[in-house]
Amino acid sequence: MPQSDAEKQMQFQLTQTGPSKTVPDWVHEKITQIFKESPDVRNVDIARRFGLDAVTVGNIKTGKRQLPKTYREKPQRCPTCGGLVFMPCVMCRIDREQDDKETRSL
């Protein structure tokens, strides 16, 4: 059964010992949603609500702090290996580097 926002927030706050350097994606999305719905809300009020630093909340508001690329893009099929990946394909790059090392050592 999926957790409600209140349950997630409670669990998040219970695991915090101070302002967090990593913000869970659901918290980031919720803060972004709050600012879209009521742009004049104060950063400090949201920071207290989620147990974050006001600067972190301000960075989310201005876009300086964004969700990782993996949350903003959808994976694609790699034309080389066929894997479902975020491009450029890391596996193909590693394979190429290993092949290059083997070729140089011969």
Q: pLDDT tens across 19-52, in order?
A: 445 777 788 889 989 999 998 999 999 999 988 8
Residue 2 pLDDT class (50, 70, 90 cuts) = low
What's the confidence (pLDDT) of residue 18? 47
Q: What is the mean pLDDT of residues 53-62?
A: 89
What's the confidence (pLDDT) of residue 44? 93
Predicted TM-score (pTM) of the model is: 0.47
pLDDT at 60 over 80: yes
Distance separating alpha carbons of residues 69 and 47, to the nearest angstrom: 24
What's the confidence (pLDDT) of residue 43? 92
Whether residue 8 contacts residue 26, with contact meaning beta carbons closer than 8 Å, is answered with yes
Distance separating alpha carbons of residues 79 and 13, to the nearest angstrom: 43
Q: Give the class (CATH, top level) of 5-69.
A: mainly alpha
10-14, 30-34, 97-101: lowest mean pLDDT where? 10-14
Sketch the domain layout of the chain as residue ranges: 5-69, 73-105
